[in-house]
Structure 1
Amino acid sequence: MSPFGQDISKINWDTMWGPKLEIYNIRGEAKQQVWREVQFGPGGEAFVLEKRRTRGVFAEPMELQEFPFDIQDLSVLITSDHPEDDIQLEEDEEDMSNVVTHSFVDESEWHLKKFVQCEPRVTEDEYEKDKYKKPGLFFRCCVIRRAGFFVWNIMLIMCIRHSDAMVVACRIAGCTNRFKTGSGTNFL
C-alpha cells in the first residue's frame, strides 16, 4: 500500500516506463530475474527501483603479458538507452553484486576473485544520429592465473633436461678418459 492508499501490487509494469537496459560482453541469451519496488520520498514522490539478477555466459578479450603470472580484469557494462537526464543507474548498496565462482569455465587454470567493483560510466553511441550521453554502470572482477601448474611443469622439464645433459656429459668425459689410457687396444 502506498501512503496515499493505492495498492502497489496491482500495477501493470508492462504499461509503464522502462529503463531500456543493455548488457555488453554477454554471449547468447541471458536469464534475468527482474523485480520492482516503489519507494516514497519525504514529499510523497514515488521512486521505482528496478532490480535484476542476470545469469549468462560473459566473454572478455584476454590481455596476457606476464605468463604464467597473469592477472586479468573481467568487465560487464550495463547502459540505458535513455538520456542521462531521464534515468539514474546505481549499484544496490544493500544487496551487493557478486560472481558465482563455481560455474566459472576455466577454474582449473584461473582463480576468480569474488570481489566485484562497480563504477558509474557515461557513454555515447558513436553511430547514432542524435548523440546523447547514456548512463551506465561498469562492473569489474579479477581473475588470476593459477601459475603453479605451469611453474612446476617448467621446473620439472628443466631439471630432467639438465640431469640428462649431465649424464651425457659424464659419459663423454668417461669415454675420452678411456681413449687417452688405452694405448694399444682395439676400439670396435
Structure 2
Amino acid sequence: MSNSIRSDSYSESVKRGIHPLTTSPIVQQRRSATTGNVSRTSTYFPSMSNLSSNSRSATISAIVTPASSHQRLPNSRHSMDTHVKKPIAIPKAKPPREVALRVKFIRLGEVNTLHEKFYAEVVIEARWLYDPEATSWNPNLYVKNALGDIKQEVASEFVNHLDESVSVNNKGNDIVYVWEIRKVVGTFWEKLELNSFPADVQQLSLQIVTRCPIEECVLVENRFQPSMVNREAFLAQQEWFLYEHIETRSTITTEDFSFRPIRQSTFLVTCCVARRPGYFYWNVYLLIFLITLIALTVYGVAPEHPQSRLQITCTLLLTSIMFRWSVSRLLPPVSYLTLLDKYTLVSLVFISLNSIWHSIIGFLIRHTAISKMIDYYVLSLFTLFFLVYHFLMAFFLFQALRSRQVMLESDRQYASKLAGMFETFVQGHHAVQRFQERINSSRTSLFV
C-alpha cells in the first residue's frame, strides 16, 4: 500500500488532497505574508480604522504630499549640484622666508690632523625681512659640526637697506630688516682628506643649520657682503697656509632625532688651508732616502761574508720601521695609504729584498762556487729599481702640488670679486696689488 502512495503522480495527489497546495491556496499564503508585513510595520503609524475623519484626511494628505513634491525634486537637485560644484577657496601657503648669511672667520687656531678637528672664532651675520605679524620669529641658527660646549654671543637690531638702525614704530621706513650677529667660539669637526699627505689641501667647513623646516626658512648667501677670513690672525701659520677665498653652498639635510623626518636648510661655509710640506721634506723624505741609499752600499762587502751584509741591512730595516712608526703617530688611523706611507713602505720592501739577496748569494758562493758577476748584475737591477720608484714618487708629489696652483687662481678671482665691491677703482686696484704681493711672498713657503 505504501508503494502505491510513493508512486502516485502529481494529479493523483491533488485528487486525494494530499499535496500542500490544495490545502493552502497561493492567494491565501500571499495575503497572510502581506498582512504579516503590514502588521510589523504598522507599529510606527496608527491604524487607519481607529482614526477620525479629520485625522484620516490629514494623514492621507500627508502621505500624498511627498508624492507631489517629486515634481520639484529636479530643481532642488540642480541647486544642490551647483552648490557642490562650487570651488572651495584654499588659502595659499606662504613662501619660505629667506635668511641671508655672511660668515667672518675672525681667528683660526690649531688644525689637529690626528683628531680631525680645528679651533675657530667665527661671526655669523644673519639678515631677514621683518614681519609685523610674526615679531618674535627667529631662524634659531646653530653650528652642526661643533664639538662639545661652544661659547655664543648673540645681538640683534632693526636696520634698513643701508644698514642704518631704525625703529619699528617709524612708519616712514617701508622695508625693515632684522640683523642678527652671532659670535661662536669653539672646536669644530672636519673630515680630512689625507691621500696627498704631506702635500694635502684641507677644507675647514662650518655647517650652519636652522631649526625651522624647509617650508618655513631657507638659508642663502648674502650677495652684497661676501664672507671673509682674517689671514693675519691665523695661529697656525708655521704649519699651514691659509687661502683668501671662501666657498659657500646651500643644501638640505634631515633632522636626525625626530619622530617625523624634518627637512632643514643648511648653509656650508668653507675656507681652505694647505699644509706646508717643508718640514716633511727635510725630516722624513730626506732621511728615508738616505737610509734606502745606504742599503746599496752594502754591496761593497764581499759576498763571502753574508753575515756582515745581513747585519748592516737588518739594522737599516729596523731603523726604517721605527721611523715609520714615529711618522704614523701624526696621522689618524685611516683605511688608505697616504703619499708618505707609500714612499716609506716601498723603501722598506726595497731594503728587505736586498737582505734576502744577501742571504741567497752567501749560500750559493759557499756551496756552488757561483761567479761574483751575478752579484754585480743584481746590484745594477736594484739601482735601476731605486731610481724608477723615486722618479714615480716625485711625479706623484708634483701632481699633488698642482692643486695649490688651482687654489691660488681661486684666490685671485675672489680678490677681483672683492675689489669690484669697493667704492672707487683706485681702492679696488690697491687691494688686488696687495693680494699679488702677499701671494708672491708666500709662494716659496707654500711649495717648499
Above 0.5 in TM-score? yes
Tell me how far 1:35 sits from its aligned partner.
2.9
Residue 137 (1) aligns with residue 250 (2): no
SS in 1 for 2:209: strand
SS in 2 for 1:156: helix
Going from structure 1 to structure 2, the CA distance change for 1:162 and 1:134 (only over 3 Å counts) comes to closer
Give yes or no for contact 1:32–1:55 (8 Å, CA) kept in 2. Answer: no
The structure 2 residue matched to 1:153, chosen from 273, 283, 290, is 283
Partner of 1:34: 155
Partner of 2:206: 76
CA distance in 1 between partners of 2:215 and 2:243 (Å)? 35
Bigger relative CO (Cα 8 Å, ≥ 6 apart): 1
After superposing the two structures, state which structure 1 stretch, 60-69 or 98-107, moved more: 98-107
Partner of 1:18: 138
The structure 1 residue matched to 2:223, chosen from 87, 93, 96, is 93
Tell me how far 1:63 sits from its aligned partner.
2.5
Tell me how far 1:22 sits from its aligned partner.
1.4
CA-to-partner distance for each residue in 1:57-99, whole Å, 9 max, x for gaps?
2231322112221122221111111122322323333443233
CA distance in 2 between partners of 1:106 and 1:76 (Å)? 18
- Aligned-CA RMSD value: 3.3
Tell me how far 1:125 sits from its aligned partner.
0.9
Give yes or no for contact 2:199–2:277 (8 Å, CA) kept in 1. Answer: yes
Partner of 2:243: 113
Going from structure 1 to structure 2, the CA distance change for 1:24 and 1:114 (only over 3 Å counts) comes to farther
SS in 1 for 2:150: strand
Higher helix fraction (1 or 2): 2
TM-score (norm 2): 0.31
How many pairs are equivalent?
A: 159
CA distance in 1 between partners of 2:153 and 2:224 (Å)? 19
CA distance in 2 between partners of 1:62 and 1:163 (Å)? 33
Tell me how far 1:164 sits from its aligned partner.
4.8
CA distance in 2 between partners of 1:105 and 1:65 (Å)? 25
Amino acid at match of 2:275: R
Give yes or no for contact 2:143–2:208 (8 Å, CA) kept in 1. Answer: yes
SS in 1 for 2:156: strand
Unaligned stretches of 5+ in structure 1? 1-14, 177-188
Give yes or no for contact 1:39–1:49 (8 Å, CA) kept in 2. Answer: no
Partner of 1:52: 182
CA distance in 1 between partners of 2:256 and 2:160 (Å)? 35
The structure 2 residue matched to 1:123, chosen from 235, 239, 253, is 253
CA distance in 1 between partners of 2:293 and 2:273 (Å)? 36
CA distance in 2 between partners of 1:67 and 1:136 (Å)? 30
Give yes or no for contact 2:145–2:206 (8 Å, CA) kept in 1. Answer: yes
CA distance in 1 between partners of 2:297 and 2:254 (Å)? 66
TM-score (norm 1): 0.65
Amino acid at match of 2:286: L
CA-to-partner distance for each residue in 1:122-162, whole Å, 9 max, x for gaps?
22114312323212211112121211211222343145436
CA distance in 1 between partners of 2:157 and 2:180 (Å)? 4
Identity %: 28
Amino acid at match of 2:221: E
